Amino acid sequence: MTISEGTYFGKLTDIQEDSVYDQGFKKWGISPRQQYGGVRGSSLKKSSLVNTVDIVKKSLIKKDAEGSSTYEFASGTNYSTTSGSLPIFPIWVLPEIVETVTLEHPLYNMIAKKAVRGKFIDFNQRTARGAASLKYELASLSATKDTFVRQSIPIKAAYSVRILSGFTVRVNEGYIDILADRIRSATEAMLDLIEEKTFTGDASTYSYEFDGLYNLISTNTDNLSGTAITLDDCRQIKKWCKRGTKTDGVAAGTGKPSLFVCDDSTYEDLKKLIQPFQRYNNVLVVDWGIESFSIDTTPVISNPFLTTVSSSKILYCLDMRTIWYGVLQDLTYQELPFDGDGMKFMIKTYMALTVDAEMFNGYVYGILWGE
CA-CA distance, 62 to 48, in Å (whole number)? 10
DSSP state of 96: P
* Region 46-65 average pLDDT: 42
Look at residue 95 and tell me whether its pLDDT is greater than 70: yes
Question: pLDDT band at residue 72, thresholds of 50, 70 and 90?
Answer: very low
DSSP conformation letters of 116-143: --SSEEEEEEEEE-PPP----TT-----
What is the 8-class DSSP label of residue 247?
S
Whether 36 has a pLDDT exceeding 70, the answer reads: no
State how far the Cα of 106 lies from the Cα of 267, in Å rounded to an integer: 14
pLDDT tens per residue, range 100-135: 999 999 999 999 999 999 999 999 999 999 999 999
Q: Looking at residues 243-251, what average pLDDT do you find? A: 88
Report the distance separating Cα 301 and Cα 370, nearest Å. Answer: 17
* Statement: residue 174 has pLDDT above 60: yes
Better-scored residue on pLDDT, 338 or 4: 338
Q: Domain extents for the chain?
A: 185-367
What's residue 71's pLDDT? 43
The pLDDT assigned to 213 comes to 97
Band the pLDDT of 340: cuts 50, 70, 90. confident
**Across-strand partners of 315?**
262, 364
Query: 293 pLDDT band (50/70/90 cuts)?
Result: confident
